[in-house]
């Protein structure tokens, strides 16, 4: 049970870190300048893109780590 809790904590931290990095990166694109007529919608778009990109990257890395850990069963 404790390993499930640790894995859940690692997953949550990974998701939040990758979402933060995606948000930080996407903000530098200045999408709100392109969408001058709709600044509020541009901010929502930045948040939604950040969540999408961050979650996808986090899932990729977590799955990659899990698959590397499971490679040991190929040898056994």
Q: Which residues 6+ apart lie within 8 Å of 74 measured at CB?
A: none
pLDDT digits (tens, 9 = 90+) for 19-34: 999 999 999 998 888 8
Contact call for residues 51 and 26 (beta carbons, < 8 A)? no
Distance CA 44, CA 42 (A): 5
**Residue 48: what pLDDT?**
97
User: At 74, is the pLDDT very low, low, confident or very high (cuts 50, 70, 90)?
Assistant: confident
pTM of the predicted protein model: 0.86
Average pLDDT, the chain: 92
- Give just the sign of the alpha carbon dihedral 38, 39, 44, 50: positive
pLDDT tens figures, 47-57: 999 999 999 99
Question: Among positive and negative, which fits the CA dihedral 14, 18, 21, 23?
Answer: negative
């Amino acid at each position: 049970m404790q390993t499930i809790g640790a894995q859940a904590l690692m997953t949550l931290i990974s998701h939040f870190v990758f979402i933060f990095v995606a948000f930080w990166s996407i903000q530098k694109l200045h999408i709100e300048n392109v969408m001058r007529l709709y600044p509020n919608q541009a901010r929502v778009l930045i948040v939604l893109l950040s969540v999408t990109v961050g979650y996808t990257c986090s899932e990729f890395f977590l799955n990659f780590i899990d698959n590397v850990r499971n490679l040991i069963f190929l040898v056994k």
